[in-house]
Amino acid sequence: MKKFIAIILLFNLQAAICSLHSFAQSIDSVEYFYDVDPGVGNGNVYVVATSDSITDSISFDFPGLTPGFHTLNFRVRDTNGTWSLYENRTFFLNDTIFEIHASFDSSSAEYFFDTDPGVGSGTALKLTPGDSIQDTTIAVAAGLAFGFHNLYVRIKDSNNVWSLYEEAKIYLYDTMTVSVLPLTHPIEAAEYFFDTDPGVGNGTAMNPFAPADSIQLIDSLPSAPLTAGTHRLYVRVRDTMDVWSLQEGKAFVVCNFVPVPDFSSDTVCVNTPTAFTDLSTNVDTNFNYTYAWDFNNDSLTDDTARGNTFHTYNTSGSHMVTLIVNNTNGCTDTITKTIYVDSLPTSTFVLPIDSLCKDDTLALTGGSPAGGVYSGSGVYGGSLYCDSIDAGLHTITYTYYNSDSCSVAISDVVYVSPCTDVHEYDLAGLLVRISPNPFRTRAAVFIQNPLNEFSNLHFVLFDVFGKEIRTLKVESSTLKLDRGNMTAGIYLYKVIGKNGNYVSGKLVVVD
């Protein structure tokens, strides 16, 4: 069965937690919990519109609560992310859900002053049955002394069940002349005191102000000689008729000392740890103090390191970082700073050739933007010296730095071959050289002809079974040979002239 209660609450935000200074902030979040505090920010969320104060009627569920007395607690958060102390109300949870009727019995309410005479033994209230009652006149009991009293009212429903009583304070004047005075009188003075009431008019006077129907004071109140811990501040006002109001109280905390959080950070490249140096002062290291670092501006704690720490960002640009330092007794303060993470440069690198002979030297190019550094086995002064490394696959790396000293490194692979080149001549003195040989993806065919005549030459490639697999027309002294769909193995070639004369040789394709 669903048990619920409707409660009307007025929240007044007091933004300063460890100080008696008042700052005008707006409430942007409300949470509540029963009996045991789950921790700040871990209560049940009640969604509200951002406002300086909130008045609302709320229905609450009580899952898992046992019948009996319980405490309902509220606290609010302002737009700076600072939580107030909690306010609480005690309520009684019945163990039975009664059927609700639309009206009460004609003798369903009673009242009494100061002392409870027992349920059903109070003074009956005459009222019209209905879901609610309002503007009912109550006669003051004869013999009631002048001054402050407690008025109690309770009602009975159609199930003959009495409610708990509701209490209100009243003040009984000693003269009837007050009834002919205006309903309200301007406020002309205010006083305050801590914890224990020294008596009406004996508190500490607040700064003078012009008489008004309502006042709003911003004042700094000295807390000495209060000890560290939780205290209550009470304020009451006096009107122009010299009548004092009831006091209004709020709890606050006196800190051993308020921390002053601060930190610095270095500017690094993305994916490199950013170092945060703790510069906080006034930290109560003798007790259970805590740090809470929020590196992502999501109001979640990412690190609880007390002191210096590191965090790695995988995106460049601006980042909001918040540090909360909490001393003993909940004395806390917060600082938020913007840090910057540099981006990495964009670069490409593709070697112009993927195979070289053991005695070749290659001036390295292909890195973009220009201005980077080439590195790898056999690389000296921007050139690859193949005679200084073994045959096989080798990795060449191009590293480029931008103006923020952030770098990116890109690699490509080159194959260094022993190059057992084949040189064969015909009677005309034609010379053919293939480099590299063996090769992986492409090779260059160099043809030397004493007559410098190439238009009548063809380059024909055969597999080991003598099957012709490719024919290329020779148009210059250099012919590019791409591997294409050739599998690894040994191949034969012929450079054939117009009269059928040819130069032949072999080449090797490797993976």
Taking only the tens place, the pLDDT of each residue in 418-471 is 765 444 334 356 788 888 888 888 888 888 776 666 667 888 898 877 788 898
- Find out whether the peptide bond into 273 is cis, omega within 30 degrees of 0: no
Q: Give residue limits of the domains in the chain.
A: 4-93, 109-178, 187-254, 263-341, 348-417, 431-509
User: What is the Cα–Cα distance from 136 to 19, expressed in whole angstroms?
Assistant: 43
**Contact yes or no for 305/294 (Cβ under 8 A):** no
Query: Which among 420, 431, 440 has a CA at the least distance from the CA of 495?
Result: 431
Predicted pLDDT of residue 141: 67
Provide the CATH number for the domain formed by 4-93 in this structure: 2.60.40
Q: What is the pLDDT of residue 420?
A: 58
Q: CATH number of 187-254: 2.30.30, 1.10.260, 1.10.3470, 2.60.40? A: 2.60.40
Fold matches, 263-341 and 348-417: yes
Residues 6+ apart with CB under 8 A from 462: 468, 469, 491, 492, 493, 494
Rg (CA), the chain: 45
Query: Which of 339, 338, 335 shows the shortest CA–CA distance to 324?
Result: 335
Residue type, 343: S
Q: Is 177 helix (H, G, I), strand (E, B) or coil?
A: helix
Round to the nearest angstrom and report the end-to-end CA distance of the chain.
Answer: 77
Task: Give residue for tokens 């964009």.
Answer: 346
Helices (H), 163-297: none
The 3-state secondary structure of 88-107 reads EEEEEECCCCCCCCCCCCCC
Residue 259 · residue 326 · CB < 8 Å: yes
Contact (Cβ atoms closer than 8 angstroms) between residue 141 and residue 113: yes
Nearest to 276, CA basis, from 315, 314, 317, 321: 321
Low-confidence ranges of the chain (pLDDT < 70): 1-24, 95-107, 128-136, 141, 175-183, 329-330, 419-429, 450-455, 498-501
Q: Which residues pair with 145 in a beta bridge?
A: none
Sign of CA dihedral 159, 161, 162, 163: negative
Q: Could you tell me which CATH number the domain at 431-509 has? A: 2.60.40.1220
Contact between 246 and 168 (Cβ < 8 Å) = no
Tell me which fold the domain 263-341 belongs to: Immunoglobulin-like (2.60.40)
Question: Contact, 488 vs 511, CB < 8 A?
Answer: yes
Q: What integer pLDDT is reported at residue 175 of this predicted model?
A: 61
Strand partners, 190: 237
SS3 449: coil
pLDDT of residue 95: 67
Structure tokens at 490: 């040994």
Alpha-carbon distance of 306 to 285, in angstroms, equals: 10
Structure tokens at 347: 């670069």
Can you give the pLDDT at residue 307? Answer: 92
Q: Smallest Cα–Cα separation from 250: which of 227, 234, 230?
A: 234
Please choose, from the candidates 193, 190, 194, the residue with its C-alpha nearest in 3D space to the C-alpha of residue 206. Answer: 190
pLDDT at residue number 499 = 67
Residue 212 DSSP SS3: strand
DSSP secondary structure letter of residue 263:
E
The identity of residue 110, as a single letter, is E
CATH fold of 348-417: Immunoglobulin-like (2.60.40)
- Residues 124, 112: Cα–Cα separation, whole Å: 9
Of residues 179, 181, 198, the one with CA closest to residue 241? 181
